[in-house]
Amino acid sequence: MDNLQRPVLEPVCSSPAGSHPTNPSMLLLVYAGSTIYALYLSPLSRFPGPKLWAISRIPGQLSVLQGRNHLDILALHERYGPVVRISPNELAFNTPQAFRDIYGARPGGCFAKDRSHYLPPANGIDHLVCAVDNAVHTRQRRLLAHAFSERALRDQEGLTRGYVDTMIGKLRAHITKGHSPRVDINNWMNYTTFDITGDLMFGESFDCLKDSRLHPWIQLIFSSMKALAIAGVANQSPILGTIFHALIPKEVKRKAIQHFDLAAQKVDRRLETNMTRPDFISAILQNGLSEAKGQYLDGERIMTRAEIHSNAFILIVAGSETSATLLSGCIFYLCTNPLTMSRLVSEIRSIFAKEDEITFRNAASLPYLAAVIEESLRMHPPFVTSLARVVPPDGSIVDGHYVPGGTVAACHHYASYHSTSNFSFPHTFLPERWLGQDSRFNRDKRDVLQPFSLGPRNCLGKNLAYCEIRLILWDIARFHDRNACNTNLAMQGFARGLHTFIRLNPSALGLVPDKLMATTMEAIIGAVFLDSNQNMDIARNVIVELGLLESDCWQGTLAYLSCCYMPR
């Protein structure tokens, strides 16, 4: 039972002499007392939410196990408002101010992480993500920060550029050698981001791009994810934890442990080398290495081998799978929104036409590319759920509400980004909302988008992730061909994890961009329709004058315009 329930349950559980604590009638009495307290006497009883969720964690846990929690929390916010009680001791918020109050810096320190929501690694040593102790987190972050500094990004640019070039080259070779033009873009994004992260972390690639397949270790990571989800639910429920753990097959548990062991082996092999090229490990080792058992707390300038093992375990996933997920989602939306793709292609080709102009700095200067990425992060955030925090003992104000101490508080990313109270047309992919030029989006609360969190515990790799994502999307768009995408895709299937396929065209993967693309129908409509207040009839007239009306994709584009056009 949570802390807020104990005042009622303690007297109820004080059994009279001779009674047995497991007597069914006594258990029923305990449950009735707990229910009455949760619904009517708890300090959280004034917050709205479904009654079943208010009296038990089980509905929320089942929602997680069914893979529907992000959708269920969204539905609850739409029904009950910006703050919802989602368990006996937990509140969900969805406003920009709530993000700042829960995760931002504040006098006396930020809200602590809720240990029940974070699983420690197999060796029991906290890493950067799960560390509850602020001193441990601060020391580890200071050491790891050097690997993600501006200088480190400059040093890593050539390496990242090389892997992206390899990806484009492999895709080009795939189609020119007579293979099927249909490829799974999800896999190729994972090949690229895992190779980059492996090289930056351990000084060696996983060779996914070289072999055009996922490394066995990466397949192991994916296969252990469900076990980690079940274990996370079990961690929140001491009573039901044994049952949930029993649901995990022994083979899956073994794979989860093996995943950690492989990360530790990679670290140990890297520590035995005398590599001079900067990587994550060299940044961590700048002040030496401690072989002490557990976590080294004497000063704040060194990390133990066990801590490096733990951080490698989480960074290999956090630094690769999340970027690949975002990129796959972004490419899905670009392929199913031809006008958006056309505008992005036009921006890239008109501003930076030469290959040697593709740099981290130049990619960051493209406003529409930035808008596409932000909208992709909103529509398809790699992390859809929440980062739970515990309100300090004295209580605190969150979004104008007093929240009692000990309460778990969180903002759920997917639910916040798809709320009608935060965004106009929240389920429609519209990068224009981020340009600040369209009155349709004047009421959008854009500062609610915090996919990398914020405050002292925000994502350390945010800048590196943006650099990778911009560079990959730049090259994908630079070689885009208007026939390269299968637009007959359903978002429902994509959200369930079905693979997204694109169709490659030899001319679209050439070294020289297809000049015809500059005058394709999509680009023309994109320029007229999106950059001015001209209506669809004017766009159609432009197409007629250029003799493109008979284009094989005119009807599809016309239908697209008819569906998405919204008067300003």
Please report the DSSP string for 454-518 in residue order. -GGGS-TTHHHHHHHHHHHHHHHHHT--TTSB-----HHHHHTTPPPEEE--GGGGSSS--GGGG
How many CB atoms lie under 10 A from the CB of residue 127?
24
Q: Are 463 and 153 in contact (CB under 8 A)?
A: yes
> What is the β-pairing status of strands 408-411 and 389-390?
antiparallel
Burial of 121 (0-12, 13-18, 19+ CB in 10 A): buried
Q: Which of 47, 54, 58 is nearest to 83 (CA)?
A: 47
Enter the pTM of the model: 0.81
Is 459 annotated for ligand binding? Answer: yes
Q: Are 369 and 473 in contact (CB under 8 A)?
A: yes
Q: Which of 296, 270, 297, 294 is nearest to 282 (CA)?
A: 270
User: What are the structure tokens assigned to 1, written together?
Assistant: 């039972």
Q: Are 339 and 403 in contact (CB under 8 A)?
A: no
Helix (H) or strand (E) holding 31: helix 24-36
Look up residue 28 and give its amino acid.
L
Helices (H), 385-461: 413-417
284-288, Cβ contacts within 8 angstroms, sequence gap of 24 or more = 284/143, 284/144, 284/147, 284/308, 284/311, 286/143, 286/146, 287/143
Rounded to 5 degrees, what are φ and ψ at 185? -70, -25
Distance from C-alpha of 238 to C-alpha of 57, rounded to nearest angstrom: 11
Q: Are 297 and 135 in contact (CB under 8 A)?
A: yes
pLDDT confidence of residue 160: 94
- CA quadruple 290, 294, 298, 301: dihedral sign: positive
pLDDT confidence of residue 64: 86
- What is the CB-side half-sphere exposure of residue 484 using CA atoms within 13 A? 27
User: What are the structure tokens assigned to 194, written together?
Assistant: 């895992």
3-state secondary structure of 450: coil
pLDDT confidence of residue 479: 73
Question: Cα-Cα-Cα-Cα dihedral of 528, 534, 540, 545, to 10°?
Answer: -70
Q: Are 128 and 283 in contact (CB under 8 A)?
A: no
pLDDT confidence of residue 516: 27
pLDDT, averaged per 10 consecutive residues of the chain (568 residues), comes to 39 40 73 84 95 93 86 97 97 98 89 83 85 86 87 89 92 73 82 94 92 85 71 73 69 77 91 82 81 63 88 88 90 87 90 80 94 97 91 96 97 97 96 95 97 94 94 85 50 41 38 27 37 44 44 38 35
Question: Cα-Cα-Cα-Cα dihedral of 404, 406, 412, 417, to 10°?
Answer: 30
H and E: helices and strands count for the chain? 26, 11
133-142, Cβ contacts within 8 angstroms, sequence gap of 24 or more = 134/109, 134/110, 135/297, 135/300, 136/295, 136/297, 137/457, 138/300, 138/456, 139/297, 139/300, 139/303, 140/303, 140/307, 140/311, 141/460, 142/300
User: What are the structure tokens assigned to 2, written together?
Assistant: 């949570």
Q: Which residue has the tokens 């009735």?
A: 32
Distance from C-alpha of 164 to C-alpha of 155, rounded to nearest angstrom: 16
Distance from C-alpha of 549 to C-alpha of 567, rounded to nearest angstrom: 24
Q: Are 418 and 495 in contact (CB under 8 A)?
A: no
561-566, Cβ contacts within 8 angstroms, sequence gap of 24 or more = 561/339, 561/525, 561/529, 561/536, 562/536, 564/339, 564/428, 565/529, 565/536, 566/425, 566/440
